[in-house]
Structure 1
Amino acid sequence: MIDLSAELLPAAEADVIGLAVIGADRAMLRKIGRLVEWLPPVGTDCCDCMLLVGMESELAGLAAGQRDVIALAGVRGASPALSQPVTAVVLWNAAQSHYLVIAMPDFAARQVELLLGSERRARRLMEQQLEAASSEVRFASLARTRLRLARDLHDTLVHSIVALLTQIRLIRHYLSADPARVADGLATAEEAAVSGLARAREAIGRLRMPDDLELNPDVEGLLTDFAERIGVEMSIEIDDRARDGLRECGMTVQRIISEALRNIQAHAKARHVRFHAVEQPAAVGRRLVVELRDDGSGFDPAVPKPGHFGLIGMVEFAELVGGDCTVESAPGKGTLVRISLPVAAPPAARSSGTLAD
């Protein structure tokens, strides 16, 4: 049996680990160390914590001996004090009739974040674990909902607020430098607010509609509209065999490409954009490969960008359907976004395969 005072308490007090004790009724009894500051205050139900919401049945199963441990890998950002990722494990102390939470720095997740950007590793690990753990279906559903909310908020509110902030700064500049342009600046700000409101309403509509009921978008129309609106030269190349895959994976492709186009508009200063879609054989079935390349200013993907989640969301959209998305860029060299998604075999191929059997 774990001797709390002799083995764990000194390490927690030295802030090497985080330690928390939760009663059998799930009430927080004690917290030691900043690594467990993400747990709710003492006296509160532990499932009021964002990372434990919906896990009442899992905790009960732990106390009943139906499982040995609950592991939460790559936890971060749940409280201001939690600036680096940690791995937290929940154990049941039968002798004392309480739960024990031990939090330790997750050095592996930290290294991945330094290379790939903020929080991608934590979210991907959580998604993989949730998909693999059939006994935690409810928790997986809640986690996916939170990710979907975060992505839709980023795609609507964050971009709209950034546009408004830009206009407000311009108007402030016009007040002293060119008062005659204040009215034009206010009109542009109003247009950005109206557009943001419309996009927010669309996002709310998507949240109220199951993913499998959403209509496949017109990717070619999205690219053409962008080129006309921004004034860039757009090349669109779609192989005939890739058109079925584009229709099948249209929503995922649109979400990723929309974010990439927003980055081109806001940062790249590109003159030419090339879209290419092909179908390639895979070990199982086929894969749709989509590339979006621009000749803009480029950037260094290895440099962390705190508070920016667009690139992370692009990768997550692909991973949620079993695909992947990579971004290649360098300062002054433009940017390449490459998407690879699994697609089902066409009906004719499935029928001929059945007859051959």
Structure 2
Amino acid sequence: METALFSPFTIKNVTMKNRIVMSPMCMYSSHNQDGKVENWHLTHYVSRAVGQVGLIMVEATAVTAQGRISSQDLGIWSDDHIPGLKNLVTMIKEYGAKTAIQIAHAGRKATVDGEIVAPSAIAFNDRMKTPKELSLSEVKEIITAFQAGAKRAKEAGFDIIELHGAHGYLINEFLSPLTNKREDEYGGSFENRYRFLGEIIEAVKEVWDGPLFVRVSANDYDPNGLTPEVYVEYAKKMKDQGVDLIDVSSGAVVPAHIPVFPGYQVGFAEKIKHGANIATGAVGLITTGIQAEEILRNDRSDLIFLARELLRDPYWPRSAAKQLGVEIKSVKQYDRGW
């Protein structure tokens, strides 16, 4: 039986053996607080490659030390990070998976010591620090930091780069009118709020010609915030700039109630895919092979991003294949138990 889930997917010069993506999930495991890869990262990511995941995406990796979500985050702000990331890439690729890295800046949701920054001086909630509003020169410095991070990702050998524009981190903060109250060229209008992301894309593409993804939060879940319809328009602009795929999540730019149910974000991915005519990835309470197959067969998305399910089961592709009645190859060391 042919399945959509286990069919190849080619984007630019990269072909994944199936449509299963390990979604970026922070591990908070760089215990020396230097942003470097540790043994845990090697174990964690490589085991999912052994489990036959098609694309392994490394967690949010900070382009500046100030831009870490936590002091234990991975970093890509220094050339000192390249050897560890290169080793991780090499080990993942040994088992047939493609590799991606999500590069990020946490903005006002950073919990590191010292000053944190954002488009506007508005705290996420009453328990978090009030950020400093970025000056124009500091905005340009962060754009340059994203470019430098992309260059290091290329040196490390990653196949794909994803920009983290979701979950209330810095890019998302610029996009949303709930968090961006600026009155200069980076705030106010739809065009101005997009400018920061647009200039990051331009800067990254100067040093990177491989596939480029952007993760978005397609719904702010706030009556004054952004909706999937607005993100269709953002996605059109990203496509025009050469972005290849939109990884569609939602929420977390402001505290809000999010109605959660199986596949609760799939409709957002479907709307952006067809509204902007761009490839999308679906994520969010996708738990079974049957569910993933339905999403792909009905052209609701192009890739399936799995998070918690791959924490629970590094060999989820095997489980999904059994549900769908197909056989997939394992690494030869596991043949007798596969």
TM-score, normalization by structure 1: 0.22
Taking CA–CA contacts closer than 8 Å with sequence separation of 6 or more, which of the two structures ends up with the larger relative contact order?
Answer: 2
More strand, by proportion:
1
TM-score, normalization by structure 2: 0.22
More helix, by proportion:
1
